[in-house]
Amino acid sequence: MTKALGIAVVACLVPCILCAVEASNRYRSPRNPERKIRQSTELIVLHTTEAPAKSSLNKLSERGEAHFCVTEEGQIYRIVDRDREAFHAGRSMWNGKEDVDKFSIGIECVGYHDKPMPPAQIAAIRDLVAELKAMYRLGDSQVVCHSHVAYGAPNKWQKRNHRGRKRCGMLFAMPSVRAQLNLKTKPKLDRDVQARRLTVGDEYLSKVLYGNVDTMRQYYAVIPRKPAPKEEPRRGIFSWLGSNPKPAAKKTPAKPKTVAGTFKAPPQSVADLKAQGFKQVGVVTKDVTASKLVGARWNRADTYYTIRNKVIPGNTVNPSKIEIGMAIWLKK
């Protein structure tokens, strides 16, 4: 086989190798033909729908707001062709470049920014991300979440353009989740904040994106086991003649046991809270704040707030959005 023929054969095989992930066209967007071809692909942006699958898929399809959507069952749907622009990032900036839609792929994941996702969904996201990384030759740090790139305009709370407009996809910045997605690194700092193009508008989000805050560790933790001790080769009295016995075969350490296999969803309703042993300890009023009710526990992961059938973990609640009428739940 000639060198030229060999290169041609490899070129023909590459597309097949890079299209191993199965995806459905059921929700392919009618907006697809009118979208421009992207000039470059520098990021993969992971989103959370913050809504159930059916309503999310219908909206994404109607408006062409993502390239892919991954459901809780691990089903992948194509929305907009991966080489076209999908309107998924909205007001956005990354390294001084605005309109992230023009140079990124958007993946919507059915679920919420502060709740874990089932193993089947995590596996599907991992496979899809791996395939896209290979296609576009992207590194792990080029896989970000929507909250990495979204920014807000000045308002009555923020005098300047600021990072923190959304917490969308926030869990994908957490070390335990990124480990499940085979992502070894993440962005180390916000270059737009560093260059003073933006200011930090959500301190907690900033700690998640660029620190080690990880509220998902309890669901995706890895429990390491101690490796077997190394056995030194025994040297006999005739070792100088080259008759030293062979060293004992090294034992392969057992693979770490993952907690992901015993996935347990956090409470998502008042009924779930009661079933898991939580008790309502009070309700926020004009004169009774959350800290008055539960003290330093107001922002812990095992403290929950409920209002209008929504359950909010204490470690993700925005203190400025704790409103009158919110009930607070603690473990009995």
- What are 206-241's pLDDT values in tens digits? 999 999 899 999 898 654 444 555 544 444 433 333
Per-residue confidence (pLDDT) for residue 156, from 0 to 100: 86
Per-residue confidence (pLDDT) for residue 6, from 0 to 100: 46
Per-residue confidence (pLDDT) for residue 309, from 0 to 100: 81
Per-residue confidence (pLDDT) for residue 14, from 0 to 100: 38
Whether pLDDT at 256 is above 50: no
| 120: phi then psi, degrees, rounded to nearest 5 | -65, -40
Average pLDDT, the chain: 84
Band of pLDDT at residue 101, cut at 50, 70 and 90: very high
The domain at 18-219 falls in which architecture? 3-Layer(aba) Sandwich (3.40)
- Other residues' Cβ atoms within 10 Å of the Cβ of residue 121: 20
Per-residue confidence (pLDDT) for residue 274, from 0 to 100: 87
Please write down the HEC assignment for all residues of the chain.
CCHHHHHHHHHHHHHHHCCCCCCECCCCCCCHHHCCECCCCCEEEEEECCCCHHHHHHHHHHHCCCCEEECCCCCEEECCCCCECCCCCCCEEECCEECHHHHEEEEEECCCCCCCCCHHHHHHHHHHHHHHHHHHCCCHHHEEEHHHHEEECCCCCCCCCEECCCCCCHHHHCHHHHHHCCCCCCCCCCHHHHCCCCEECCHHHHHHHHCCCCCCHHHHCEECCCCCCCCCCCCCCCHHHCCCCCCCCCCCCCCCEEHHHHCCCCCCCHHHHHHCCEEEEEECCCCCCHHHHHHHHHHCCCCEEEECCEEEECCCCCHHHCCCCCEEEEEC
More confidently predicted of 299 and 241 = 299
Per-residue confidence (pLDDT) for residue 225, from 0 to 100: 46
Band of pLDDT at residue 42, cut at 50, 70 and 90: very high
Whether pLDDT at 53 is above 80: yes
Give per-residue pLDDT as tens, 102-136: 999 999 999 999 999 999 999 999 999 999 999 99
Domain boundaries, the chain: 18-219, 270-331
Per-residue confidence (pLDDT) for residue 270, from 0 to 100: 87
Band of pLDDT at residue 58, cut at 50, 70 and 90: very high
Per-residue confidence (pLDDT) for residue 9, from 0 to 100: 41
* 151-171 average pLDDT score: 93
